Structure 1
Amino acid sequence: MTAAPTAETSLEGSHTADAIRDRLAGDRRPSLLRDAVYGAIDGTVTTFAVVAGVAGAQLSERVVIILGAANLLADGFSMAVSNFLGTRAAIQQRAQARRDEERHIELVPEGEREEVRQILAAKGFVGRQLEEAVDVITADRRVWVDTMMQDELGYAGDSPDPLRSAMATMAAFLVVGFLPLAVYVADLLVPGRIPAPFAWSTGLTAVGFLVIGVLKARVVGQARIRGALETLFVGGAAAALAFAVGVLLQGVG
């Protein structure tokens, strides 16, 4: 009987020469998981805060849906645009830094060689080995600039695509942020079938917070239970505040 593959054998299999070559030659674009997770968190928190505030003021279900939908669309678009502009600005900043490094190499090549030398020395290169490594890196302008970008300026990996990041953020914001409204929409379509829609909305949103928290924990390397409870606490605090404001302002108008 063939033994089942273990984690160790699987890890060894992914580090053969062919596997490494295929992995390095594959698609290395940054993951969109971070954009999606944080879009989902923000969408759920802000939409449920609106729902809680309106419910606290004891307004009608139609008002809940109208205000919640308006918030969902406006904030979702705003967050996507902010992500797009922020990511694009970071790319532009990176491009400017690369142009600066290329100009420095052109104007003060020996000074830039010394920077490479000190970078490699800090990594443990010494003597003849150090000088040979400096010669290899500075012989190729692209490799030289890449080295300075990563080891001197701290730019690591490929830049994310601004449009893809924005779309992932907005999609997650809209889809997951709709959870607090889903019960009210269902109750409006089939009146009276859902008792205490705010309670159901609260429960559904809490489940959403927990799931999002687990996904967020994977992104940031956090313990899953802690990530789930942390997101639930933050979302619950925002909702409680909005509900309290709605109760206080109930008699206004």
Structure 2
Amino acid sequence: MKWSRRDPLDHDHHPEAIRRRLNTPQRAETVPDAILGGIDGCVTTFAVVSAAFGAGFSASVALVLGFANLLADGFSMAVSNYESIQAQRDHIEGVRQSEAGHIDRVPEGEREEIRQIFYRKGFEGEILEQVVDTISRDRQVWIDTMLVEEHGLQRVALSPMRSALTTFAAFLFVGMMPLLPYTLPWLDITQQFLASLALAALMFFLIGMGKSLVYHRPVLLSGLRTLLVGGAAAGLAFLTGHLARLLFGVGP
């Protein structure tokens, strides 16, 4: 049989493959947390490096400030992400309990909500009533349906700790890259800055490319867009340091 590019897609849509996929519990994606942490880590440390270079500070000052910001901002960002995900979980659980209470107190009203939701999707007559009866027969399915259809909330279990650790790890790993040239004493300050610039640009571009592979976007376009965003942040930091040196005498 001649191989076709559609073969893997056909295999994924075989009834048994679909059944396995739908029966597998959904897990929250950690890729957005890694992307957020990586971009912010690189922006944070290279912004410090750029500002220090623009202000004329030494390599040791840039290194100390960079690592201090790397650890403090990385921890702060991880905690913020943890609290954000936890608040989202609490909100979803609150809505779930509220819907459970509504089903207990006004079941016919909740059935009417299901009826109108699926009527708007094109169901009518006897088929619509069968849908309403089927959903309202299972309490958990009923609550989950209201959670998604009425409130627009996801049912995927969120993990605040996993999101926080992913963000922190990506922040530290990527954010450390622009600081590495400043650990090389045989380079002068300009060479260290240019090497840091090259590493930061590479990190931005790779993050953009990685994001495109996960979300099926154009690779080069995504890489360049992330590079431009990071470059703009670094440029602002450099300009701020340079202006501070000129206007306020900040620097060596």
TM-score calculated relative to the size of structure 1: 0.92
Aligned CA distance change for structure 1 residues 34 and 169 (closer, same or farther; 3 Å): same
Match status 1:196 vs 2:196: no
> Does 213-222 or 242-251 show the bigger shift?
213-222
1:205 to 200, 218, 235: 200
Question: Are the equivalent residues in 1 in contact too, given 2:212–2:218 (CA < 8 A)?
Answer: yes
Describe the superposition over 1:101-137 as per-residue Cα deviations: whole angstroms up to 9, x where unpaired: 0111111111110000111111221111111111111
1:175 Cα offset (Å) = 0.2
Q: Could you say what secondary structure the match of 2:250 adopts?
A: coil
Q: Could you say what secondary structure the match of 1:47 adopts?
A: helix
Aligned CA distance change for structure 1 residues 196 and 246 (closer, same or farther; 3 Å): same
Describe the superposition over 1:62-89 as per-residue Cα deviations: whole angstroms up to 9, x where unpaired: 1111000001001101110000000000
Give the aligned residue type for 1:223.
Answer: P
Q: What is aligned with 2:2? A: 3
Q: Could you say what secondary structure the match of 2:27 adopts?
A: coil
> Does 11-20 or 71-80 show the bigger shift?
11-20
Q: Could you say what secondary structure the match of 2:6 adopts?
A: helix
- State, as a whole percentage, how many aligned pairs show the same letter: 47
Q: What is aligned with 2:128? A: 130
- Alignment length (residue pairs): 248
Structure-1 separation of matches of 2:223 and 2:91: 35
Question: Are the equivalent residues in 1 in contact too, given 2:26–2:157 (CA < 8 A)?
Answer: no
Question: Are the equivalent residues in 2 in contact too, given 1:38–1:216 (CA < 8 A)?
Answer: no
Structure-2 separation of matches of 1:163 and 1:113: 37
Structure-2 separation of matches of 1:153 and 1:7: 39
2:44 to 21, 43, 46: 46
1:220 Cα offset (Å) = 5.4
Unpaired runs of 5+ in structure 1? none
1:223 Cα offset (Å) = 2.9
1:192 Cα offset (Å) = 4.1
Q: What is aligned with 1:21? A: 19
Structure-2 separation of matches of 1:31 and 1:245: 36
CA-based RMSD of the aligned residues comes to 1.8
Q: What is aligned with 2:119? A: 121
Alignment of 1:30-45 (within 5 A): 30-45=28-43
Unpaired runs of 5+ in structure 2? none
Q: Could you say what secondary structure the match of 1:210 adopts?
A: helix
1:27 Cα offset (Å) = 4.4
1:170 to 160, 168, 171: 168
Match status 1:245 vs 2:240: yes
Give the aligned residue type for 1:3.
Answer: K
Question: Are the equivalent residues in 2 in contact too, given 1:116–1:148 (CA < 8 A)?
Answer: yes
1:227 to 199, 212, 222: 222
Question: Are the equivalent residues in 2 in contact too, given 1:34–1:219 (CA < 8 A)?
Answer: no
Question: Are the equivalent residues in 1 in contact too, given 2:55–2:250 (CA < 8 A)?
Answer: no
> Does 83-92 or 153-162 show the bigger shift?
153-162
Give the aligned residue type for 1:179.
Answer: M
Structure-1 separation of matches of 2:174 and 2:221: 20
Q: What is aligned with 2:209? A: 214
Structure-2 separation of matches of 1:25 and 1:144: 18
> Does 69-78 or 192-201 show the bigger shift?
192-201
1:193 Cα offset (Å) = 8.6
